[in-house]
């Protein structure tokens, strides 16, 4: 793994660089942003509609749970293989390139196999998606290590926020276009054609990232001792108690979230009978929430630490699914998912960046793989619990004079998911600490540094000063 350069965060313009050529590390960071753009099209126009495609194939709730859990779990173990075989590739860039190409090709069986054998369509889709996520996770450790080595610790928050913002905005556009396309073909009773077009575009855009990476020069090759220690050594000596507690929090939080996660598509499309464009708008609202607040979350994490970021978002994320018990209006659901995007932007950024800070640079790829495995195990447990609850939780509830009769039992399951998230945050957030030197501030003052609240505070202060 190449060592992090001490001062290479801007293009060199000194006397020895009169040509104005771009620093190789700057070129790599630009690739990270552009890769995010094409990845966003794949996510927004492809991955986000896999569950809807499964419904077209008459997938059951159990199969939707498997679709959410098994591909992630199988794919995550590919990260272990990725780290172990990294020395087979001449460089991290080469490993990333092959992984991206594998993701691109995997969209062909995702589309073709269920349509060729529709009787086994849901299970064939699950198998093909498992292959896709296997390549996705195989790419992840090398990609994260490659990009993180080019960044200073105190700029990671802003860089990944900028990249995530690019992904959010592009995903929003891809979601809207894919939703409109699917609605058009649905009216023509050719919905499968709409999925074919969107999935083929997703695969082509993913392959564009591999072409971009070929144009990045100056990236380091693997040295003779690029992978000096194995996972067992890292598990015994490379993981601090702090990092272990963080992994427990992250894994259990993913488990609590996935109790509800796979079933929103059923609730919105089957129980509430929303059109595909309405479902796409619901998804897009979350992406807009991310887009508007990611830079502020990145600044917050760089300044006050990712632990502080997790402390606020870990509690806020618990109340989001509970709100689905209190209304079915489409505009209300869109507003809830908008604030969900705001909170998840910060939580996702904190979970990713904490891993980079908590271990030594030489162990970063292993830490990313271990973290992903723990999260996938939590993901799997959560979806299994959620699918069991669907057949167990009653569709209505009577408590004294209060009667709750939602369209199905799914809002009750969403509420339970929120309660589990709250328990995880209350019990585990206090068990690990910030590994970086950051600015310390009282929690009541940090509250006014949060996205959305900070601009409101600044506006109110300006209004007060103007009236004085």
- In this structure, what token pair is assigned to residue 28? 């790599």
**CA 213 to CA 232: how far, in whole Å?**
32
Residue with token string 């328990």: 423
Question: Residue 184: which residues within 8 A CB-CB, separation 6 or more?
Answer: 194
Q: How far apart are the first and last CA of the chain?
A: 58
Judge contact between 195 and 49, C-beta under 8 A.
yes
Positive or negative, the Cα torsion across 80, 83, 84, 88? positive
Sort 52 into a burial class: Cβ within 10 Å, 0-12 / 13-18 / 19+: buried
pLDDT for res 148: 76
Cα–Cα distance list, 172 to 43, 168, 212, 248, 289 (Å): 10, 6, 22, 32, 10
Question: Residue 56: which residues within 8 A CB-CB, separation 6 or more?
Answer: 191, 192, 195
**CA 107 to CA 209: how far, in whole Å?**
15
pLDDT for res 17: 37
- Which residue, 164, 176, 179, is CA-closest to 291? 164
Question: Residue 440: which residues within 8 A CB-CB, separation 6 or more?
Answer: 304
Give me the residue spans of the domains in the chain: 27-219+230-459
Judge contact between 288 and 448, C-beta under 8 A.
no
> Can you name the residues that pair with 221 across neighbouring β-strands?
91
Judge contact between 85 and 227, C-beta under 8 A.
no
**CA 246 to CA 242: how far, in whole Å?**
6
Residues 237-267 as b or e (16 or more Cβ within 10 Å = b):
ebbeebbebbbbbbbbbbbbbbbbbbbbbbb
> How open is the CA angle 376-252-445, to the nearest 5 degrees?
120
- Which residue, 253, 367, 375, 353, is CA-closest to 307? 353
Query: What are the helix and strand counts (H, E) for the chain?
Result: 17, 2
> How open is the CA angle 185-188-192, to the nearest 5 degrees?
45
Phi, psi values for residue 91, rounded to 5°: -160, 165
151 by DSSP, 3-state: which? coil
**CA 79 to CA 317: how far, in whole Å?**
27
**CA 449 to CA 429: how far, in whole Å?**
20
Residues 172-203 as b or e (16 or more Cβ within 10 Å = b):
bebbbbbbebbbebbeeeebbebbbbbbebbb
pLDDT for res 13: 33
Question: Residue 355: which residues within 8 A CB-CB, separation 6 or more?
Answer: 246, 364, 367, 368, 371
Sort 7 into a burial class: Cβ within 10 Å, 0-12 / 13-18 / 19+: exposed
Judge contact between 249 and 355, C-beta under 8 A.
no
- Which residue, 246, 272, 290, 263, is CA-closest to 416? 263
Find the farthest-apart pair of alpha carbons in the chain and give their distance in angstroms, rounded: 80
pLDDT for res 241: 86
CATH architecture classification, 27-219+230-459: Up-down Bundle (1.20)
pLDDT in tens, the chain (468 residues): 333 333 333 233 333 333 344 455 676 677 778 888 888 888 888 888 888 888 888 888 888 878 877 776 776 678 777 777 777 776 777 778 888 888 889 999 998 888 888 888 889 999 999 899 888 888 887 777 777 777 777 777 778 778 877 887 888 888 888 888 888 888 888 888 888 899 999 888 888 887 777 766 555 555 444 444 565 666 666 678 888 999 999 999 999 999 998 889 889 988 999 887 888 889 888 888 888 888 888 888 888 888 999 999 999 999 999 999 998 999 999 999 999 999 998 999 899 889 888 887 777 777 877 888 888 888 889 988 998 998 898 888 877 777 788 889 999 999 999 999 999 999 999 999 988 888 877 666 777 677 766 655 555 555 455 555
Task: Give the pTM.
Answer: 0.68
Q: Cα-Cα-Cα-Cα dihedral of 202, 203, 205, 210, to 10°?
A: 150
- Which residue, 252, 300, 158, 240, is CA-closest to 433? 240
pLDDT for res 432: 92
Positive or negative, the Cα torsion across 208, 214, 220, 226? positive
């Amino acid at each position: 793994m190449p060592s992090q350069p001490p001062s290479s965060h801007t293009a060199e313009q000194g006397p020895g660089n009169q040509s104005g050529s771009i620093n190789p590390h700057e070129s790599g960071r630009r690739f990270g942003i552009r890769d995010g753009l094409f990845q966003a099209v794949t996510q927004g126009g492809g991955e986000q509609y896999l569950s809807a495609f499964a419904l077209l194939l008459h997938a059951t709730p159990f199969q939707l749970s498997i679709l959410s859990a098994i591909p992630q779990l199988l794919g995550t173990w590919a990260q272990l293989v990725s780290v172990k075989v990294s020395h087979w590739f001449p460089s991290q860039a080469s490993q990333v390139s092959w992984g991206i190409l594998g993701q691109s090709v995997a969209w062909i069986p995702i589309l073709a196999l269920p349509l060729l054998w529709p009787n086994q369509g849901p299970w064939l889709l699950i198998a093909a998606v498992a292959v896709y996520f296997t390549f996705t996770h195989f790419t992840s450790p090398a990609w994260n290590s490659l990009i993180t080595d080019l960044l200073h610790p105190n700029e990671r928050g802003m860089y990944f926020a900028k990249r995530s913002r690019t992904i959010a905005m592009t995903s929003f556009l891809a979601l809207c276009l894919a939703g409109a396309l699917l609605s058009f073909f649905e009216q023509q009773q050719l919905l499968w054609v709409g999925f074919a077009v969107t999935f083929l575009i997703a695969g082509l855009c993913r392959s564009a990232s591999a072409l971009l990476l070929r144009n990045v020069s100056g990236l380091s090759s693997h040295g003779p001792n690029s992978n000096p220690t194995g996972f067992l050594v890292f598990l015994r000596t490379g993981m601090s108690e702090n990092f272990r507690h963080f992994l427990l929090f992250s894994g259990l939080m993913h488990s609590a979230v996935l109790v509800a996660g796979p079933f929103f598509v059923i609730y919105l499309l089957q129980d509430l009978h929303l059109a595909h464009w309405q479902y796409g708008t619901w998804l897009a609202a979350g992406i807009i929430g991310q887009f508007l607040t990611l830079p502020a979350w990145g600044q917050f994490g760089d300044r006050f630490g990712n632990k502080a970021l997790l402390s606020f978002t870990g509690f806020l994320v618990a109340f989001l699914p509970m709100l689905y018990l209190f209304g079915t209006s489409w505009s209300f659901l869109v507003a809830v998912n908008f604030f969900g995007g705001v909170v998840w932007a910060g939580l996702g950024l904190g979970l990713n960046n904490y891993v980079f800070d908590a271990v030594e640079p030489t162990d970063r790829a292993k830490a990313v793989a271990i973290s992903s495995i723990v999260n996938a195990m939590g993901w799997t447990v959560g979806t299994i619990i959620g699918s069991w609850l669907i057949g167990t939780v009653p569709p209505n509830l009577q408590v004294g004079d209060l009667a709750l009769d939602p369209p199905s039992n799914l809002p009750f399951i969403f509420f339970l998911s929120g309660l589990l998230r709250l328990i995880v945050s209350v019990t585990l957030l206090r068990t690990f600490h910030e590994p970086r030197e950051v600015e310390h501030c009282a929690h009541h003052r940090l509250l006014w540094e949060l996205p959305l609240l900070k601009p409101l505070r600044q506006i109110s202060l300006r209004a007060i000063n103007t009236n004085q």
